[in-house]
Structure 1
Amino acid sequence: MLNVHVVCHSHNDVGWTETPDVIYSEYVQDIYSSVTDALHKSRDRKYVSAETAFFERWWQEQLPPRRTSVRKLIQQECAAAVSNSGQLEFVGGGWVQSDEATTHYSAIVDQMTLGLRWLNDTFGECGRPRVAWQIDPYGHSRENAALFAQMGFDAVFLGRVHVADKEYRRKQRSLEFLWNADRNIGSAADLFTSILPNVYMPPRGFCFDKYSCTTDADILAYNARTRAREFMDAVREYAKYYDTRNVMVTMGGDLAYTKAETWFDNIDRLISSVNREASSSGVKLQAFYSSPSCYLKALHAANRSWPAHTRDFLPYADRPQFYWTGFYASRPCLKRYARRANGFLQVTSDGVAHSDAKQAHCATRP
């Protein structure tokens, strides 16, 4: 049986072609509001959120009734589950989804701490992300993976690797592996890694959002069977690249789900049509709403070993000879300001920590 894990998500860059304020006001606030409304209409639906910077801002604007309803979406079944299995699941959890090529490790740790601490303070253990979600950085570094492993993540999901490397891994069915990210600390830096089949987009022809892609045909009664067969063909092609009977299909894109009900209505009908068509045609395939942690749990149940990987995924090229390396050297002044500011932050943080420790020591003296 081929298990098709349908994962709904939005990729919300905290600043891309527009300022964070513009992106939030024009897109993201509508995304979270419409998604949470849509999730309440069916317990089967699931959605994952990555960028804490935007979610925290949206949360601060919500009234108590909305906050209570969102907590329920996050906390469903959480107490009895090994991982967050509610309808709304956080992945990554950093303030942003940081670059891996030019960012200093201390800045990565700081922004991850900021986001994860807010999630923990707000939602407790049920809000803790179990997987890292690096779907759009232009290449991936092994030291970044080592940091994620030491932060306690169970896995990392990647979107962008060199086109030749990805094609080789497809042929070898090695898009999933154990990343031995830092030999100096050994197994503490080992992290299960999964490269997504289509960066972070849906299969071709199954995007239902006017912003993130050209809107494809809705799933309706007259075309449901044809569309189901097209989707089944796409996921069976994906399945050739992986070595278990589970495949994760991302349904979303850049700033997707501003009108979440359109997405979920279509996916509801798509899942129903796919399962009905598979059953009637004798194809061993089932599709269902899922999340990265649920997918990871299914892989764990497969009880198999994984190939090892030790190197970086840098530099990145999305086509032959089209290398994304200009940003290594561009905007040098901005990079210098960021590095110097981070240095000041570290010194200030150390000073505050020592001051707090001294005050605590003085308070305990007779």
Structure 2
Amino acid sequence: MIMAGDDEDELNRLLTQSYYSRIHNLFSSLAFDNPNGGAWTQGWKVSYPKDRWTADKKLKIILVPHTHCDPGWVKTYEVYYRTQTKHILDSFVPKLEQNRKYKFMFTEMSYFSWWWSDIDDSLRERVTTNRLCKVTTNPLSKVTTCLANHLSKVTICLANHLSKVTTCVANCLCYVPKSGWSIDPFGYSSTMAYLLKRSNFHSMLIQRVHYSIKKHLAKNTQLEFMWRQHWDNTGSTDIYTHMMPFYSYDVPHTCGPEPAVCCQFDFRRLPGSPYRCPWHTDPKPITSLNVAERARTILDQWKKKATLYK
């Protein structure tokens, strides 16, 4: 045991060693198997005490609509912009002007930069004067020309992405994002966390992590943590990290642990659409007759998801 007054460097060394050992021991202890967890295939049956939330102790729900437009995926970069992404950006300004409580997150800054160069001065003024991208929306996410750690694997390229596009956003909107949003890279490098921290980001969100790790962290309500570089013995590289708990970032896998239920609230899959819920229970329009039941159903999923976090 190190007592007060002992050498500070030795204390920091042992603290770092302990931190690194915990991560190493976690990976060594996991079986990385894939037992069927039921409705949450890679998890377990989630429940919660009925009195955990009451009229006096309400669960706070934050909805974050976001884009996921992979430049060059399936369609060419230009076709993707002309046929889809441009329409997203054209519609977000009037929609956010309707209600300042609305939230919207746009990640693919190569497309935002293109759109910004296409629009006229009056539309630019509506964006900058009303501070739509700073006040009304969640900050413009991890500003990269794509998802930097999805595309580039060389440190200088990652840094260049962050530098160039952060500068672009600062010049266009007089705003510098502070939160990272990284939902689709196939695995995460600690280098990206380090670069975000060095770029003055204070937090980041990640999604694609092995389900065995997610399951362990969820059971121990450790899906939110400080990501620290293994060589750091002072905490100077700590960045607050939120890990999403489920399989994917789509509607069926984000509202809660039961995708068959969550899919019923993916209204793009309403009857008549070419998209259907693979769990054979499709969404239905919300009416005055079913709104109470529908609200209770999705609230149950939100509550179950909330139990996975502190």
Length-normalised TM-score, structure 2: 0.70
1:188 maps onto 2:247 in alignment = no
Aligned to 1:45: 102
Alpha-carbon distance between aligned partners in 2 of 1:73 and 1:190, rounded to the nearest angstrom: 33
Give 3-state SS (helix, strand or coil) of 2:266's partner.
coil
Q: Contact 1:131/1:156 (CA < 8 Å) preserved in 2?
A: yes
User: Quick one: which of 115, 122, 131 aligns to 1:74?
Assistant: 131
The runs of 5 or more residues in structure 2 that have no matched partner are 1-57, 256-261, 277-281
- Quote the offset at 1:171 in angstroms: 0.8
The superposition leaves residues 86-108 of structure 1 with CA deviations (integer Å, 9 ceiling, x where unpaired) of 33631101121123696000000
Amino acid in structure 2 at the alignment position of 1:229: R
Amino acid in structure 2 at the alignment position of 1:240: T
The superposition leaves residues 68-123 of structure 1 with CA deviations (integer Å, 9 ceiling, x where unpaired) of 112244358xxxxxxx4333631101121123696000000111111101001111
Alpha-carbon distance between aligned partners in 1 of 2:164 and 2:147, rounded to the nearest angstrom: 12
1:200 maps onto 2:267 in alignment = no
1:35 maps onto 2:96 in alignment = no
Amino acid in structure 1 at the alignment position of 2:208: R
Q: Contact 1:206/1:216 (CA < 8 Å) preserved in 2?
A: yes
1:3 maps onto 2:60 in alignment = yes
1:157 maps onto 2:209 in alignment = no
Alpha-carbon distance between aligned partners in 2 of 1:36 and 1:220, rounded to the nearest angstrom: 28
Aligned to 1:90: 140
Aligned to 1:238: 305
- Quote the offset at 1:185 in angstroms: 7.5
Alpha-carbon distance between aligned partners in 1 of 2:138 and 2:74, rounded to the nearest angstrom: 28
Aligned to 1:172: 220
Aligned to 2:283: 216
Alpha-carbon distance between aligned partners in 2 of 1:41 and 1:86, rounded to the nearest angstrom: 11
Alpha-carbon distance between aligned partners in 2 of 1:12 and 1:158, rounded to the nearest angstrom: 17
Alpha-carbon distance between aligned partners in 1 of 2:150 and 2:234, rounded to the nearest angstrom: 21
Give 3-state SS (helix, strand or coil) of 1:242's partner.
coil
Alpha-carbon distance between aligned partners in 2 of 1:209 and 1:223, rounded to the nearest angstrom: 19
Over 3 Å counting, the alpha-carbon distance change for 1:207 and 1:233 in structure 2 is: same
Structure 2 matches for 1:281-360, cutoff 5 A? none
Q: Contact 1:166/1:175 (CA < 8 Å) preserved in 2?
A: yes
Q: Contact 1:208/1:216 (CA < 8 Å) preserved in 2?
A: yes
The runs of 5 or more residues in structure 1 that have no matched partner are 77-83, 244-366
1:144 maps onto 2:192 in alignment = yes
Amino acid in structure 2 at the alignment position of 1:192: Y
- Quote the offset at 1:137 in angstroms: 0.5
Amino acid in structure 2 at the alignment position of 1:208: F
Aligned to 2:35: none
- Quote the offset at 1:5 in angstroms: 0.9
Over 3 Å counting, the alpha-carbon distance change for 1:86 and 1:38 in structure 2 is: closer
- Quote the offset at 1:213 in angstroms: 5.9
Alpha-carbon distance between aligned partners in 1 of 2:267 and 2:117, rounded to the nearest angstrom: 29
1:104 maps onto 2:154 in alignment = yes
Alpha-carbon distance between aligned partners in 2 of 1:216 and 1:159, rounded to the nearest angstrom: 25
Q: Contact 1:74/1:88 (CA < 8 Å) preserved in 2?
A: no
Give 3-state SS (helix, strand or coil) of 2:67's partner.
strand
Q: Contact 1:100/1:140 (CA < 8 Å) preserved in 2?
A: no
For the aligned residues, what is the CA RMSD? Answer: 2.3
Give 3-state SS (helix, strand or coil) of 1:2's partner.
coil
Alpha-carbon distance between aligned partners in 1 of 2:188 and 2:307, rounded to the nearest angstrom: 24
Alpha-carbon distance between aligned partners in 2 of 1:88 and 1:74, rounded to the nearest angstrom: 11
Over 3 Å counting, the alpha-carbon distance change for 1:194 and 1:3 in structure 2 is: same
Q: Contact 2:96/2:136 (CA < 8 Å) preserved in 1?
A: no
Which one has more relative contact order, counting CA pairs under 8 Å at least 6 apart?
Answer: 1
- Quote the offset at 1:159 in angstroms: 1.2
Q: Contact 2:100/2:136 (CA < 8 Å) preserved in 1?
A: no
Aligned to 1:276: none
1:26 maps onto 2:118 in alignment = no
Alpha-carbon distance between aligned partners in 1 of 2:103 and 2:179, rounded to the nearest angstrom: 16
Aligned to 1:133: 181
Amino acid in structure 2 at the alignment position of 1:195: M
Over 3 Å counting, the alpha-carbon distance change for 1:168 and 1:60 in structure 2 is: same
Alpha-carbon distance between aligned partners in 2 of 1:160 and 1:154, rounded to the nearest angstrom: 20
Give 3-state SS (helix, strand or coil) of 1:156's partner.
strand
Alpha-carbon distance between aligned partners in 1 of 2:187 and 2:89, rounded to the nearest angstrom: 28
The superposition leaves residues 20-42 of structure 1 with CA deviations (integer Å, 9 ceiling, x where unpaired) of 11111111001111222211222
Amino acid in structure 1 at the alignment position of 2:250: M
Alpha-carbon distance between aligned partners in 1 of 2:308 and 2:266, rounded to the nearest angstrom: 22
